[in-house]
Amino acid sequence: MEKIWNKCCQLIEKKVGESTYNLWFKSIKVYSIEEDKAVLIIPNRFYLEWIDNNYPGIIGKSLNEITQRDIQVIFELEKELNLKQLNNNMQNPKIQPQKVMDRPSFLGPRYTFDQFVIGPSNQFAHAAARVVSESPGKVYNPLFIYGDVGLGKTHLVSAIGNRIIETKPNLSIIFVQSEQFTNEVVTAIRHEKMSEFKAKYRNIDVLMIDDVQFIANKTQTQEEFFHTFNALYEMQKQIVISSDRPPKEIGTITDRLKSRFTMGLIADIQPPSEELKVAILHKKAAIENIKLPDDVAFYLASRIRSNIRELEGCLIKLAAHSTLIGSPINLDMSKQVLKDVFYDDDKPITIDFIQKKVCEVFGVKMLDIKAKKRTKELTVPRQVAMFLSKRLTDCSLSDIGKAFGGKDHATVIYACKKVEARAEEDESFNRIVEQLSDKIKY
Ligand code: ADP
Ligand code: MG
């Protein structure tokens, strides 16, 4: 059992990457694996929700891949288990686990317009999605939404679906990830079930295909999608497509499919502003019943550049931590809990650190750069290090001078001027200095 679970963990880690794995999957324990059922123990509800939202069904799928069986996954919350009893009962499980299913991916019930916060970066895409949900097939067809990962494409596309289900329950909708679509095409061809495939995809009112960039390179899938598209389009059925880039940048997709994508409306979602990030955090916190102080919201928004999924992940992590230790979320706790997630910007940049980085890049020794030695190959790195020390630290000119073998403040000023002048006329030198500066900052 442990062996199967370890294999499964390795597979999941491969799928989601090490840091996500460590954050969200590592603390899941296995309780039992039977013929058709596995019971897993999860620290608390927030982990489950996060996994469910971000990688729906991943645990079940991975277990199935490893065992080649159809295993249903049941989660048990750790809190409700007395761990001692668990250890004693390991051989002889008696506990009736609470049933929380590993939900298959379909329209996330929480991905609605109500829960979508609007800001300048997404208002156009949002407005288009609204219109489409009100009159599917009539106005913008297809609707093509694109934007970077974690900016809300799946949410918005699902919201269209959820809205239509709510207001026009007799319309039939398919929402499909493009990988799944590809699998279905392949299976249909292999088992000569193409007519069933066609019956499924051509007798619907709304087709929503998520992350369409994944069908680039897949000739058969593109071919099938092209025909499905045409059939639906001619019948004025709504098509909604999402992608991480605009049609013209999806490299290996056929031109005729590209031109289909541009027939309707193309709407992009841009990275969120700080205000929007904060607003989304407050919204999520309200929905989850999490008390989120303002300063923490701003802290998270300033640390996570754009990916809203990561922003949400942090919030949930904080909530989980706060539940575990039984005290409310505050700024200090947030910094502590998320220290592995963020680069530590609060750590002041020191002259020593700058010298170290400069030495690495120029291939000289720390000892030399700090010493009085005046050789030619040391001049440039030393001047650059002085320049960056002035730019990136609060140290005074004379302190900086001292750190470089007891030079005076005039030498530091001279060094800075030299570096600035050279950066101005020598682009590649400028780039080296700027890259170094970034490297030290982040
Ligand atoms: P994408 O499909 O673009 O990678 P998702 O739609 O999966 O991104 O969004 C990632 C997470 O961020 C989801 O949990 C979603 O609810 C949330 N999210 C993104 N944009 C917004 C928004 N404007 N308002 C509320 N939540 C958002
Ligand atoms: Mg998505």
Q: Which residues lie below 8 Å from residue 360, measured CB to CB, with a gap of 6+?
A: none
Q: 433 and 306 in one domain?
A: no
Report how far ligand 2's centroid is from the alpha carbon of 154 (Å).
4
Among residues 304, 337, 370, which one ends one of the domains? 337
pLDDT tens digits, one per residue of 152-165: 999 999 999 999 98
Domain count, the chain: 4
Give 78-146 as a 3 state SS string: HHHCCHHHHHHHCCCCCCCCCCCECCCCCCCCCCCCCCCCCCCCCHHHHHHHHHHHHCCCCCCCCEEEE
Contact between 132 and 168 under an 8 Å Cβ cutoff? The reply is: no
Query: Does the CB atom of residue 177 touch ligand 1 within 6 A?
Result: no
Bridge-based pairing of strands 238-243 and 29-33 is unpaired
Q: Which atom of ligand 1 is nearest to the CA of 147?
A: 3
Per the domain annotation, does 118 fall within a domain?
A: no
pLDDT grade, residue 241 (50/70/90)? very high
Asked whether residue 72 is assigned to any structural domain, the reply reads yes
Question: Is 388 inside any structural domain?
Answer: yes
Give, rounded to a whole angstrom, the gap between the first and last alpha carbons of the chain. Answer: 43
Length of the chain, in residues: 442
Same domain, yes or no: 308 and 392? no
> Separation of 364 CA from ligand 1 center, angstroms?
47
Query: Nearest 5°: CA angle at 66, between 200 and 99?
Result: 70
Same domain, 26 and 39: yes
Average pLDDT over residues 238-258: 88
Pick from 70, 91, 112: which residue ends a domain? Answer: 91
236, 150: one domain: yes
What CATH number did the domain enclosing 26 receive? 3.30.300.180
Residue 104 included in any domain: no
Q: What is the mean pLDDT of residues 383-401?
A: 92
**Residue 108 within any structural domain of the chain:** no
280 lines ligand 1 (CB under 6 A): yes
75-128: per-residue pLDDT in tens?
876 655 543 343 444 444 333 333 333 322 356 778 999 999 999 999 999 999
Ligand 1 contact via 122 beta carbon (within 6 Å): yes
Residue 181 located in a structural domain: yes
Q: What is the CATH number of the domain that holds 278?
A: 1.10.8
- pTM score: 0.62
Structural domain that includes position 75: 2-91
C-alpha of residue 62 to centroid of ligand 1, in Å = 25
CATH code (residue 370): 1.10.1750.10
**For ligand 1, is residue 308 a contact (CB within 6 Å)?**
yes
Domain's final residue, options 252, 269, 286 = 269
Name which of 120, 122, 79 is nearest 98 in CA terms.
Answer: 79
